[in-house]
Amino acid sequence: RKEVEQDPGPFNVPEGATVAFNCTYSNSASQSFFWYRQDCRKEPKLLMSVYSSGNEDGRFTAQLNRASQYISLLIRDSKLSDSATYLCVVILTGGGNKLTFGTGTQLKVEL
Amino acid sequence: EPEVTQTPSHQVTQMGQEVILRCVPISNHLYFYWYRQILGQKVEFLVSFYNNEISEKSEIFDDQFSVERPDGSNFTLKIRSTKLEDSAMYFCASSEDRVRADTQYFGPGTRLTVL
Protein backbone atom coordinates (compact mmCIF):
# COMPACT_ATOMS: atom_id res chain seq x y z
CA ARG A 1 0.00 0.00 0.00
CA LYS A 2 1.29 3.45 -0.89
CA GLU A 3 2.27 5.68 2.02
CA VAL A 4 0.14 8.55 0.74
CA GLU A 5 -2.62 7.94 -1.80
CA GLN A 6 -4.49 10.45 -3.89
CA ASP A 7 -6.86 10.28 -6.83
CA PRO A 8 -4.68 11.57 -9.71
CA GLY A 9 -7.60 13.22 -11.50
CA PRO A 10 -7.75 15.34 -13.52
CA PHE A 11 -10.65 17.15 -11.99
CA ASN A 12 -12.12 19.48 -14.64
CA VAL A 13 -14.42 22.03 -13.04
CA PRO A 14 -16.02 25.29 -14.19
CA GLU A 15 -14.92 28.55 -12.66
CA GLY A 16 -16.81 29.22 -9.43
CA ALA A 17 -17.32 25.56 -8.61
CA THR A 18 -16.51 23.91 -5.30
CA VAL A 19 -14.12 21.01 -5.54
CA ALA A 20 -12.87 18.55 -2.93
CA PHE A 21 -9.75 16.41 -2.90
CA ASN A 22 -9.12 13.46 -0.66
CA CYS A 23 -6.00 11.77 0.54
CA THR A 24 -5.34 8.71 2.67
CA TYR A 25 -2.14 7.83 4.46
CA SER A 26 -1.05 4.39 5.54
CA ASN A 27 1.04 5.07 8.61
CA SER A 28 -0.95 5.87 11.73
CA ALA A 29 2.22 7.35 13.24
CA SER A 30 2.08 10.27 10.83
CA GLN A 31 2.31 13.48 12.83
CA SER A 32 2.14 16.43 10.46
CA PHE A 33 0.01 16.98 7.41
CA PHE A 34 0.08 19.50 4.60
CA TRP A 35 -1.34 20.41 1.26
CA TYR A 36 1.13 21.71 -1.29
CA ARG A 37 0.40 23.10 -4.70
CA GLN A 38 2.60 22.39 -7.71
CA ASP A 39 2.32 24.13 -11.04
CA CYS A 40 3.61 22.39 -14.13
CA ARG A 41 7.41 21.95 -13.95
CA LYS A 42 7.62 24.19 -10.88
CA GLU A 43 8.50 23.60 -7.26
CA PRO A 44 5.94 22.50 -4.63
CA LYS A 45 4.59 25.45 -2.68
CA LEU A 46 3.02 25.11 0.74
CA LEU A 47 -0.69 25.81 0.54
CA MET A 48 -1.63 25.04 4.12
CA SER A 49 -0.91 22.86 7.10
CA VAL A 50 -3.71 20.56 8.22
CA TYR A 51 -4.77 20.37 11.84
CA SER A 52 -7.06 17.94 13.65
CA SER A 53 -9.54 20.72 14.36
CA GLY A 54 -9.69 21.62 10.69
CA ASN A 55 -8.50 24.91 9.33
CA GLU A 56 -9.51 27.45 6.76
CA ASP A 57 -7.57 29.96 4.71
CA GLY A 58 -9.82 32.06 2.53
CA ARG A 59 -11.42 29.80 -0.06
CA PHE A 60 -9.46 26.77 1.12
CA THR A 61 -10.51 24.43 3.93
CA ALA A 62 -8.51 21.44 5.12
CA GLN A 63 -9.70 18.62 7.35
CA LEU A 64 -7.92 15.77 9.07
CA ASN A 65 -9.50 12.57 10.31
CA ARG A 66 -6.88 10.65 12.26
CA ALA A 67 -9.14 7.70 12.98
CA SER A 68 -9.72 7.12 9.26
CA GLN A 69 -6.22 8.33 8.27
CA TYR A 70 -7.84 10.69 5.82
CA ILE A 71 -7.12 14.28 4.80
CA SER A 72 -9.26 16.52 2.63
CA LEU A 73 -8.97 19.85 0.87
CA LEU A 74 -11.99 21.87 -0.19
CA ILE A 75 -11.69 24.75 -2.64
CA ARG A 76 -14.65 27.07 -2.88
CA ASP A 77 -15.39 29.50 -5.72
CA SER A 78 -12.56 28.07 -7.79
CA LYS A 79 -10.55 30.42 -10.01
CA LEU A 80 -8.69 29.77 -13.25
CA SER A 81 -5.51 30.39 -11.27
CA ASP A 82 -6.30 27.44 -9.00
CA SER A 83 -5.43 25.10 -11.88
CA ALA A 84 -2.48 23.07 -10.61
CA THR A 85 -1.59 19.75 -9.03
CA TYR A 86 -2.42 19.48 -5.34
CA LEU A 87 -0.04 17.37 -3.30
CA CYS A 88 -0.94 15.68 -0.04
CA VAL A 89 2.12 15.51 2.22
CA VAL A 90 2.77 13.90 5.60
CA ILE A 91 5.60 13.66 8.10
CA LEU A 92 5.91 10.47 10.10
CA THR A 93 6.49 10.53 13.83
CA GLY A 94 10.16 9.77 14.32
CA GLY A 95 10.71 10.40 10.62
CA GLY A 96 12.73 13.50 11.22
CA ASN A 97 11.57 16.24 8.91
CA LYS A 98 11.22 14.06 5.84
CA LEU A 99 8.22 15.03 3.75
CA THR A 100 6.38 12.08 2.20
CA PHE A 101 4.42 13.15 -0.86
CA GLY A 102 1.42 11.74 -2.60
CA THR A 103 1.40 11.63 -6.38
CA GLY A 104 -0.92 14.62 -6.50
CA THR A 105 -4.37 15.42 -7.84
CA GLN A 106 -4.56 17.55 -10.95
CA LEU A 107 -7.15 20.32 -11.05
CA LYS A 108 -8.19 22.16 -14.19
CA VAL A 109 -10.53 25.09 -13.74
CA GLU A 110 -12.25 26.10 -16.97
CA LEU A 111 -14.26 29.10 -18.15
CA GLU B 1 10.24 37.75 0.57
CA PRO B 2 13.30 35.52 1.12
CA GLU B 3 13.50 32.51 -1.13
CA VAL B 4 15.58 29.45 -1.85
CA THR B 5 17.59 29.74 -5.06
CA GLN B 6 19.11 26.96 -7.18
CA THR B 7 21.62 26.86 -9.99
CA PRO B 8 21.72 25.86 -12.75
CA SER B 9 18.09 25.73 -13.79
CA HIS B 10 18.90 23.01 -16.31
CA GLN B 11 21.94 20.74 -16.46
CA VAL B 12 22.63 18.35 -19.31
CA THR B 13 25.36 15.79 -18.79
CA GLN B 14 26.68 12.57 -20.24
CA MET B 15 26.21 9.30 -18.40
CA GLY B 16 29.11 8.65 -16.06
CA GLN B 17 29.94 12.31 -15.55
CA GLU B 18 29.89 14.09 -12.19
CA VAL B 19 27.45 16.91 -11.58
CA ILE B 20 27.12 19.39 -8.74
CA LEU B 21 23.79 21.03 -8.12
CA ARG B 22 23.85 24.21 -6.08
CA CYS B 23 21.39 25.73 -3.68
CA VAL B 24 21.33 28.85 -1.56
CA PRO B 25 18.86 28.28 1.29
CA ILE B 26 17.01 31.08 3.06
CA SER B 27 19.61 32.88 5.15
CA ASN B 28 18.39 32.22 8.71
CA HIS B 29 17.38 28.63 8.03
CA LEU B 30 19.19 25.77 9.71
CA TYR B 31 17.78 22.62 8.09
CA PHE B 32 18.42 21.77 4.47
CA TYR B 33 17.00 19.11 2.19
CA TRP B 34 17.21 17.65 -1.27
CA TYR B 35 14.25 16.05 -3.01
CA ARG B 36 13.88 14.79 -6.53
CA GLN B 37 10.97 14.32 -8.91
CA ILE B 38 11.23 12.07 -11.92
CA LEU B 39 8.98 13.31 -14.72
CA GLY B 40 5.40 12.23 -14.12
CA GLN B 41 6.15 10.81 -10.67
CA LYS B 42 5.87 12.00 -7.10
CA VAL B 43 8.37 14.11 -5.22
CA GLU B 44 10.80 11.89 -3.28
CA PHE B 45 12.99 12.71 -0.29
CA LEU B 46 16.72 12.26 -0.76
CA VAL B 47 18.50 13.70 2.26
CA SER B 48 18.28 16.14 5.14
CA PHE B 49 21.20 18.08 6.57
CA TYR B 50 21.65 19.89 9.84
CA ASN B 51 24.63 21.20 11.78
CA ASN B 52 27.01 20.20 8.98
CA GLU B 53 25.99 16.60 8.86
CA ILE B 54 23.39 14.35 7.30
CA SER B 55 20.36 13.90 9.55
CA GLU B 56 18.55 11.36 7.44
CA LYS B 57 18.81 9.87 3.98
CA SER B 58 16.61 7.71 1.81
CA GLU B 59 17.41 4.48 -0.02
CA ILE B 60 17.83 6.54 -3.18
CA PHE B 61 20.73 8.45 -1.62
CA ASP B 62 23.42 5.84 -2.20
CA ASP B 63 27.20 6.18 -2.40
CA GLN B 64 26.93 8.05 -5.69
CA PHE B 65 25.38 11.00 -3.88
CA SER B 66 26.93 13.41 -1.43
CA VAL B 67 25.98 16.74 0.09
CA GLU B 68 28.07 19.56 1.40
CA ARG B 69 27.76 23.02 2.85
CA PRO B 70 31.07 24.42 1.66
CA ASP B 71 30.52 27.89 3.05
CA GLY B 72 27.93 29.82 5.02
CA SER B 73 25.48 30.14 2.17
CA ASN B 74 25.69 27.30 -0.35
CA PHE B 75 24.34 23.76 -0.04
CA THR B 76 25.36 21.35 -2.78
CA LEU B 77 24.33 17.95 -4.07
CA LYS B 78 26.96 15.98 -5.94
CA ILE B 79 26.26 12.96 -8.10
CA ARG B 80 29.57 11.25 -8.81
CA SER B 81 28.79 9.10 -11.82
CA THR B 82 25.43 9.95 -13.30
CA LYS B 83 23.11 7.30 -14.65
CA LEU B 84 20.24 7.67 -17.10
CA GLU B 85 17.79 7.11 -14.26
CA ASP B 86 19.17 10.12 -12.39
CA SER B 87 17.37 12.33 -14.90
CA ALA B 88 14.87 14.25 -12.79
CA MET B 89 14.01 17.58 -11.26
CA TYR B 90 16.06 18.15 -8.10
CA PHE B 91 14.59 20.46 -5.49
CA CYS B 92 16.43 21.99 -2.59
CA ALA B 93 14.44 23.03 0.46
CA SER B 94 15.17 24.67 3.79
CA SER B 95 13.40 25.18 7.08
CA GLU B 96 13.99 27.57 9.90
CA ASP B 97 14.54 25.61 13.09
CA ARG B 98 13.50 22.51 14.98
CA VAL B 99 10.14 23.94 15.98
CA ARG B 100 9.29 25.02 12.45
CA ALA B 101 11.26 22.27 10.73
CA ASP B 102 8.18 20.82 9.10
CA THR B 103 7.58 24.04 7.18
CA GLN B 104 9.93 23.61 4.28
CA TYR B 105 10.40 26.13 1.49
CA PHE B 106 11.41 24.79 -1.88
CA GLY B 107 13.69 26.26 -4.48
CA PRO B 108 12.70 26.38 -8.17
CA GLY B 109 14.62 23.19 -8.93
CA THR B 110 17.35 22.04 -11.28
CA ARG B 111 16.31 19.89 -14.20
CA LEU B 112 19.01 17.25 -14.69
CA THR B 113 19.10 15.46 -18.01
CA VAL B 114 21.51 12.54 -18.33
CA LEU B 115 22.21 11.43 -21.89
For residue B80, the cross-strand partners are none
Q: Averaged over B57-78, what is the pLDDT? A: 93
Chosen for mutation from A97, A103, A106 (greatest number of chain B CBs closer than 10 Å) is A97
Other beta carbons less than 10 A from residue B31's beta carbon: 22
pLDDT for A20 beyond 70: yes
pLDDT for B28 beyond 80: yes
On chain A, the residues whose CB falls within 8 A of the CB of B58 are: 98
Distances (CA, A) of B109 to A65, B1, B84: 33, 18, 18
Amino acid at residue number A6: Q
Distance of CA B86 to the CA centre of its chain: 13
Distance of CA B16 to the CA centre of its chain: 19
The percent of residues above 70 in pLDDT, for chain A, comes to: 98
